[in-house]
């Protein structure tokens, strides 16, 4: 029945991830959990008054910090050990705003990048606007779905990009001047980043700044 359903729906078979990609994904996931735990403990520490409790939390925070550093090294080694993964990470890191951690997250969690169209890339990240219409009513467009882990990483990348990527900084402020809220404009920047990443991976080339236009 499942096979017949697949044929009727014309579903595409997704090949299993390569072993090295699965290992990288596990490392990225573990790092994410440790970082989240560190953030939770930091919040807890700000609420504690007991010195004994604070001492225990501080010890755990130091331990988690050491583990995150070790995981960063393991992630870098896992990427460097595979030529394909290494090249994808290199292309992604060339984009202003995308650092080593975000690049590793995209390599591990969005291996489809480079084989998608613009809308599919944005939808996979959860940044494609969807219409909320019903009959004659036209609602506001909203973003939904997508993969949570890379979206969180790209949120931080967008925050960096609007400071250090002149084209995206200008794009962000054009949206703000048109009355868009900060988060709405930031999601639009995230969408541009993932579309750009998809194109560069398709073309297997590094990002290069656009030449400045001379005034007439």
pLDDT score, position 72? 97
pLDDT tens per residue, range 92-140:
999 999 999 999 999 999 999 999 999 999 999 988 764 444 445 444 5
pLDDT tens per residue, range 16-51:
458 899 999 999 999 999 999 999 999 999 999 999
Residue 87 makes CB contacts below 8 A (sequence gap 6+) with 204
pLDDT bracket for residue 160 (50, 70, 90): very high
pLDDT tens per residue, range 53-82:
999 999 999 999 999 999 999 999 999 999
Query: The pTM is what?
Result: 0.80
Alpha helices in the chain (DSSP H): 2-9, 19-47, 51-80, 83-93, 100-109, 118-125, 148-164, 166-177, 182-203
CA 13 to CA 116: how far, in whole Å? Answer: 16
């Amino acid at each position: 029945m499942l096979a017949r359903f697949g044929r009727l729906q014309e579903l595409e078979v997704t090949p299993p991830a390569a072993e090295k990609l699965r290992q990288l994904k596990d490392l990225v996931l573990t790092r994410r959990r440790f970082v989240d735990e560190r953030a939770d403990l930091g919040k807890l520490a700000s609420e504690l008054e007991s010195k004994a409790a604070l001492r225990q939390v501080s010890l755990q925070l130091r331990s988690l910090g050491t583990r995150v550093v070790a995981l960063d090294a393991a992630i870098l080694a896992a990427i460097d050990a595979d030529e394909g993964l290494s090249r994808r990470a290199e292309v992604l890191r060339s984009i202003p705003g995308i650092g080593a951690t975000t690049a590793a997250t995209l390599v591990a969690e969005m291996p489809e990048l480079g084989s998608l169209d613009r809308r599919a890339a944005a939808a996979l990240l959860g940044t494609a606007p969807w219409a909320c219409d019903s009959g004659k009513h036209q609602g506001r467009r909203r973003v939904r779905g997508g993969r949570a882990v890379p979206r969180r990483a790209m949120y931080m990348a967008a925050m960096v990009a609007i400071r250090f990527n002149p084209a995206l900084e200008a794009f962000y402020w054009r949206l703000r001047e048109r009355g868009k809220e900060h988060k709405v404009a930031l999601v639009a920047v995230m969408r541009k980043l993932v579309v750009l990443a998809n194109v560069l991976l398709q073309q297997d080339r590094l990002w290069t700044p656009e030449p400045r236009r001379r005034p007439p």
